[in-house]
Amino acid sequence: MCGKEQSSFCNSHSVPQMCLRPIADKGKVLYASSAMGFDTGVVDVDGGVNNSGTFNYICRECDAKFFQDYENPDNIIQPPTDKILAEIAVKNMLLQLNKRANEQELIPVLQRELGMYENPDDLSKIKTLDQKEYEEEVLFHQGIVKNNKLGEYQILFRKVLPYKVPIAAQSAIVLPYDMEGNILNEIYNLDESVRMQYMHIAVLPLKDVSVVLAFYHKRDKLYRKLRHQINSSSQEKVLQYINYLIFEYTENVYFSKKIEAELKNNKMIEKVSQEANGLPTFGHLSVYNMFGMDYEAVKPEDIPNFLDENWAIKEEENTDGEE
């Protein structure tokens, strides 16, 4: 980000540590994999706060300086500035860039070892286009911070909840549909002239409150109708919808062990966690699953709303610590 040559990069947190610690139990949080039905002997389902959600794309100096505004509990509970929103967007896009780079390396390996994909070349092309877009997005939002631009973002929803939710999440997502099922992004369009439009969501629990935030840059006009839908919906419905978006569209989510039993035993949570844009088996469609034909996607009301106060973590229920 600073343009300086680096010999190493630091462990950057994709969700601020200040938001993982409040939901940690003896220093540990649950990963998204805990909701996906994986065998615990195959993948990690939990880990210590210090090592959860880390990636290595940022030098130590940039990580310490660039994100200091939003990674501050006193700042994040205040109405967000453009600078704070841009910092969140940059972190989200860097994480996506890191993820796609790793996936590009894995595609030929998985295809060779497992024959996992029906169309590996198309998948690789999609991910290459994604990487190009992510790089452009990083530079775009970074420029907003550097140039102190104002009035750049549109907030879809923001609320400081007076309780601590058992989820911490932060991500950039490309929504294919709005709340009413209308098409937004044509996610399978491989035309290089078609730019995907991103919205950013964050659920940031602190000691006694939780910040729920969803926003987009004003140039991404596809989300205008969604903004009107959200503005005309009750807070309960919007929280339910954001809760659903977390399970459906991102893996960058961490859970309190308070809800571990629900995550493991609720089949609808497992089902939605294995969906990709409303399709089963993480979107890896083949003759074995009839290419998703007749599949009924999970709806927001089908899963527990962990942003509701009924799931809040009470102080006596949480044993924080470092590991």
DSSP 116-130: --S-HHHHHHHHHHH
Q: Of the ranges 55-59, 130-134, 249-253, 277-281, which one carries the lowest mean pLDDT score?
A: 277-281
The Cα-based distances of 100 to 14, 26, 269 in angstroms read 15, 32, 25
**List of residues 6+ apart from 25 with CB closer than 8 A:** 256, 257, 258, 318, 319, 320
More confident position, 234 or 57: 234
Mean pLDDT (whole number) for 87-112: 79
What pLDDT, on a 0 to 100 scale, did the predictor assign at position 17? 94
Per-residue pLDDT band for 99 (boundaries 50, 70, 90) equals confident
Over the chain, what is the mean pLDDT?
Answer: 87
What pLDDT, on a 0 to 100 scale, did the predictor assign at position 229? 98
- Distance separating alpha carbons of residues 180 and 183, to the nearest angstrom: 9
What pLDDT, on a 0 to 100 scale, did the predictor assign at position 127? 66
> Can you read off the two tokens belonging to residue 275?
């969906």
What pLDDT, on a 0 to 100 scale, did the predictor assign at position 53? 87
What pLDDT, on a 0 to 100 scale, did the predictor assign at position 2? 85
What pLDDT, on a 0 to 100 scale, did the predictor assign at position 290? 46
- Distance separating alpha carbons of residues 118 and 110, to the nearest angstrom: 12
DSSP single-letter state for residue 40: T
Helices assigned H by DSSP within the chain: 17-20, 60-65, 73-76, 82-114, 120-146, 224-231, 235-249, 260-265, 267-273
What pLDDT, on a 0 to 100 scale, did the predictor assign at position 313? 96
Residue type, 76: I
- Distance separating alpha carbons of residues 86 and 289, to the nearest angstrom: 40
pLDDT exceeds 90 at position 167: yes
pLDDT exceeds 70 at position 321: no
What pLDDT, on a 0 to 100 scale, did the predictor assign at position 133? 86
**List of residues 6+ apart from 165 with CB closer than 8 A:** 23, 203, 205, 210, 212, 306, 307, 311, 312, 313
pLDDT exceeds 60 at position 305: yes
> Can you read off the two tokens belonging to residue 92?
């989200």
What pLDDT, on a 0 to 100 scale, did the predictor assign at position 323? 42
What pLDDT, on a 0 to 100 scale, did the predictor assign at position 287? 45
pLDDT exceeds 70 at position 266: yes
Angle between the 120-146 and 82-114 helix axes, to the nearest 10 degrees?
160
**List of residues 6+ apart from 224 with CB closer than 8 A:** none
Mean pLDDT (whole number) for 12-23: 95
pLDDT tens sequence across 102-152 = 776 665 655 555 555 556 666 656 666 778 888 999 999 999 999 999 999
What pLDDT, on a 0 to 100 scale, did the predictor assign at position 274? 84
> Can you read off the two tokens belonging to residue 239?
């929280």
pLDDT exceeds 70 at position 293: no
pLDDT exceeds 50 at position 322: no
Q: Of the ranges 38-47, 112-121, 156-165, 238-247, which one carries the lowest mean pLDDT score?
A: 112-121
What pLDDT, on a 0 to 100 scale, did the predictor assign at position 279? 67
What pLDDT, on a 0 to 100 scale, did the predictor assign at position 188? 79
